[in-house]
């Protein structure tokens, strides 16, 4: 019987595992157009991806009143689900190169558990998991419905409680500064990815950076052997 401790690899979703920017940008455009207000730029929108909707909407529309913000959040959710239903999640939110292979390889290791910590809603994550056939992949799934927005560490602390894994034996992979700051706040090793929605220079809280999923296994070996 192995004496190795259980390890936990937690993934952000949008911008890390899947590229959902087409649906994100489209849903934002539709929700802003419904309020007859100019849609923020692509850079502005992608810069706040990862935050919960109730936090990011006031950033994108600082002059909006509370009632408008509530309508915007619901309008975005409805538009996002409609866009996904139109194309199918596998097409509208495709895996980044190497993502599925990395998930499968990690899941095959008996001492490694997988989780997600995402700004998505429960409904949104469920639809993505269904679209990509990821049922049973993630033993802990933390979503925006039940936690303060990133970078608050609540999601990661709950993931540790769910799995019984120590913070020192967990890592968080993400593409945004919010992910890396959340990991640091939870005393979990943050691994920034270079292909997502924040440029690498914004990921100053990351302990490590990777340029592709191919680099993840060797990096995990180095982290855990250290």
CA distance 170 to 159: 10
- Bridge partner list, 189: 171
- Give the chain's end-to-end CA distance (angstroms, integer): 22
* Beta carbons within 8 Å of 57's beta carbon, 6+ residues apart: 64, 69, 72, 73, 76
Kindly provide the residue ranges of all beta strands, DSSP E only, lying in 54-196, ordered along the sequence: 112-117, 140-142, 170-174, 189-193
What does the block give as tokens for 223? Answer: 């982290």
Contact 16, 119 (CB under 8 A): no
List for the chain the helix, strand, coil content (%; round to 5): 50, 15, 35
Q: Is 12 a catalytic residue?
A: yes
Q: Is 214 a catalytic residue?
A: no
Q: What positions carry a catalytic annotation?
A: 12, 14
């Amino acid at each position: 019987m192995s004496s190795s401790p259980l390890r936990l690899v937690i993934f952000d979703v949008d911008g890390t595992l899947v590229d959902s920017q087409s649906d994100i940008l489209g849903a934002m455009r539709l929700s802003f157009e419904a309020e007859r207000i100019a849609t923020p730029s692509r850079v502005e929108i992608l810069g706040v991806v990862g935050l919960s909707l109730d936090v990011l909407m006031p950033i994108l529309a600082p002059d909006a009143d509370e009632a408008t913000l509530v309508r915007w959040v619901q309008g975005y959710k409805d538009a996002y689900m409609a866009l996904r239903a139109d194309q199918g999640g596998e097409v509208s939110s495709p895996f980044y190169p190497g993502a599925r292979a990395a998930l499968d390889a990690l899941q095959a290791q008996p001492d490694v558990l997988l989780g997600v910590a995402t700004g998505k809603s429960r409904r949104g994550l469920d639809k993505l998991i269904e679209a990509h056939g990821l049922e049973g992949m993630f033993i802990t799934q933390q979503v925006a419905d039940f936690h303060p927005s990133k970078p608050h560490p609540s999601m990661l602390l709950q993931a540790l409680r769910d799995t019984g894994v120590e913070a020192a034996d967990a890592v968080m992979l993400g593409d945004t500064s919010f992910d890396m700051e959340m990991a640091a706040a939870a005393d979990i090793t943050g691994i920034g990815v270079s292909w997502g929605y924040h440029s690498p220079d914004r990921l100053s809280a990351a302990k490590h950076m990777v340029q592709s999923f191919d680099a993840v296994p060797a990096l995990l070996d180095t982290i855990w052997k250290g």
